[in-house]
Every structure is written in structure tokens, then in C-alpha cells.
Amino acid sequence: MSKAPLIALLTDFGMVDPYAGILKAVISKISPGTPIVDLTHEIPPGEIMRAAVYLWQSRAYFPEGTIFACVVDPGVGSARRGIILVSSGQTFIGPDNGLFTFVMTPSDKAWEINNQEYLLPQQSVTFQGRDVFAPVAAHTALGVEPKSIGRELSQLVHLDSPKLEFTPEGHMAGETLFADRFGNVVTSLGKFVKYAPQRYRFEPWIPFQSSQADLTLFSPDDFVLQLASGEKLLWVNTFSDLDKGKCGFLVGSSGLIEIVSYAARAEQLLGLALHEPLILKRSGK
């Protein structure tokens, strides 16, 4: 079994222009033979929150030692720093703009990239993915230590947390995050980890304080999901349980509540936008 690390790429470069291909060229030139996996290059331009959630959803499925080179970087060329973050045996490289908010923990170490030796000799202002992040990822794959590439940092930029809290009435309040390819609307409500058939334990995916006692047990079929419009959705086990044109909610593949339909786009059927408030409540209430 190969022990060579894998480099995963996440950018908002799209697939039309040669930018994503050039990242792979730079990596292949410095570190030939290192496997490269495209996580996605189609983050909508500048949507750091979406990229940060995707990293959270994906990272545990990658091997230990994976190096994530991440370039969603609307502030490229400004004073924002480039960083290397080591977290749970994986390495994250990219701009210090909050991209790594949902993968990092307080005990993780991070470094600011500033050793010119590991960058391309000519550096543009506008394409630091090519000139900085790809070469640093490739040198990291070759075994260069982060401390050789920069100075240790004590504080990184964090995104504001999406809404996830208890209401005074004891309901769980959250918000819509984004719609995926199929029109499923991923929400901030979760995560819910299955521990028995139709029984889920609540393990908040973002910082969460509560003094309530009954957090650790959860059975989704006792609940309804109330939209900002007042409409209430029922829990379903899977897409095909829904009648044509109807929407429901389920625990998605990352443990977050998703609003879904069957062979149709829930996002469109319900006219849902981003950051719409949601309430998850017991059906009896």
C-alpha cells in the first residue's frame, strides 16, 4: 500500500479556464507521481462559507496525510495571509479567510506561508493558487515540514457560525445553507448521528451551548420542520417516499437536516433562499 500522500484540490476556478489544470501542472512538476484528487473546482466564485462546509463534509473520507490545497480567495493579492493548518493528521493550505473554520480545532497548529524558497520564483498578484498554494502543497507532499515554510500563527480568521441554537420554547432554530445539484437544501441543523433504527444522537457540528438535558436523544419522526413561511414539513426516510411535487426533510449524508423532494428540486418547489430561518420542533407542540 502506497504511503505517498494525496493532494485534494478545492477551488472556485471553474472547469472552463485552465486555472485548475495549471494547479495540477505545478504540483506534477514539483512532486511528480503524487496523486491529485479534484474535490471540486465549482464553488460559486468567492463563496467561502460553502467551501468551508464542503471541506467539513469531505475531509473525514480522505486518507490520513491528505493535503488539501484550497483556493477560494476573493482577497487574493491583498494583505490576507496564506496559511498551512495541520488538523487531525491532515494538512490544509490556502488563504486565511475562514475557509478552514469547520475543520480546525483549538489545539491545531498553523503557520503563515512566507519562505520564498517553496514558492514559484515569479509570483503574480492575482493567481496565488498557482504561485503559492500549489507549490507549497507539492513541497509538503515531498516531506517539507510546515515550520520550514513559515512562522507559527496563534490566531486564524473564522467565519461567523451559521445559526444553530435552542429557542426559549425548547425548539431547535437553524437556517438554510445552500442547495445542492439535486435541489436538496442543506441546513445548519445537526449533525444527527444514527445509533439505532430511526434514532439519532445530536452532536453539534459547530459550537453550541445549551443547558438543556434532553439533547443526546433524537427521533426525527417525532419532529416537524417549520419554514419561515409557516409551512411545516414531515420527516421522510428517503427521497422516493415523497409523492410527486411534495417536500419533506431527512437526515442527510453528513448528518445535517436536508429539505428534499423526489425527482424534483425542493429548493424551487418551496422557493427557498439562503439563510432562511428554520425551526425543528416536536410534532405535538
Subset of 51-70 contacting a copy of itself (CB under 8 A):
54, 57-58, 61-63, 66
Q: Is residue 230 within the footprint of a copy of itself (CB under 8 A)?
A: no
In the complex, minimum distance from the CB of residue 76 to a copy of itself, in angstroms, rounded to a whole number: 7
Member of 159, 262, 269, 279 binding a copy of itself (CB under 8 A) = 262
**Which is nearer to a copy of itself, 15 or 273 (by Cβ)?**
15
Of the two residues 2 and 107, which places its CB atom closer to a copy of itself in the complex? 2
Q: Is 98 in the site for a copy of itself (CB under 8 A)?
A: no
Question: Which residues in 65-103 are b (16+ Cβ under 10 Å) and which e?
Answer: ebbbbbbbbeebeeeebbbbbbbeebbbbbbbbbbbbbb
List the interface residues with a copy of itself, window 177-196 (CB under 8 A). Answer: 180-182, 193-194
Near a copy of itself in 104-133, by CB under 8 A: 122, 124-127, 130-131
Query: Per-residue x/- mask for a copy of itself, residues 13 to 52, rule CB under 8 A?
Result: xxxxxxxxxx-xxx-xx--xx-xxxxxxxxxxxx------
How far apart are CB 39 and a copy of itself at their closest, in Å? 4
Chain residues 139-158 in contact with a copy of itself, contact rule CB under 8 A = none
Q: Rounded to the nearest whole angstrom, what is the least distance from the CB of residue 207 to a copy of itself in the complex?
A: 23
